[in-house]
Amino acid sequence: MEKRFFSGRLKEYVWKENGNVVAMLSFGNTADHDKAGAFEIWRIYITSDFQGKGIGHNLIAFAEQAAKEEGYTEVVIWAFKNNLNAISFYRKHGYILEKEEYLGKPYLTMGVRLNKKI
């Protein structure tokens, strides 16, 4: 895992294989007003060729460990409601569907928030 950059409240990391970036992770304090003080995994992106190889598991474990080290007790993650693969992945890692909400611009779709006590 390589620290890429910190942009304000978010920390961004990339995962490389053979010198090529194949995944990205960003996390920090949530912007959700009803979850003030929670840790949020903002992005987990893995190129399609590297999905299903355990990288996502390593990324989520890394983020959860960072949350614990920073004193957080809860992690939240948002996903598009129609992204069933992502929702299934998060649920396999102990996340519980908590809320559904229209996301508005620029997304114009429904989203779901999942959470996990750590």
Q: pLDDT digits over 59-117, tens only?
A: 999 999 999 999 999 999 999 999 999 999 999 999 999 999 999 888 889 999 999 99
Q: How far apart are CA 4 and CA 14, in angstroms?
A: 6
Count CA atoms closer than 13 A to 84's CA, side-chain side: 0
Provide the residue range defining the domain that includes 19. Answer: 2-117
Contact 35, 16 (CB under 8 A): no
What are the pLDDT digits (tens) for 16-69? 999 999 999 999 999 999 998 899 999 999 999 999 999 999 999 999 999 999
Read off the CATH number of the domain in which 10 is found. Answer: 3.40.630.30
Q: Write down the pTM of the prediction.
A: 0.88
Q: How many domains does the chain have?
A: 1
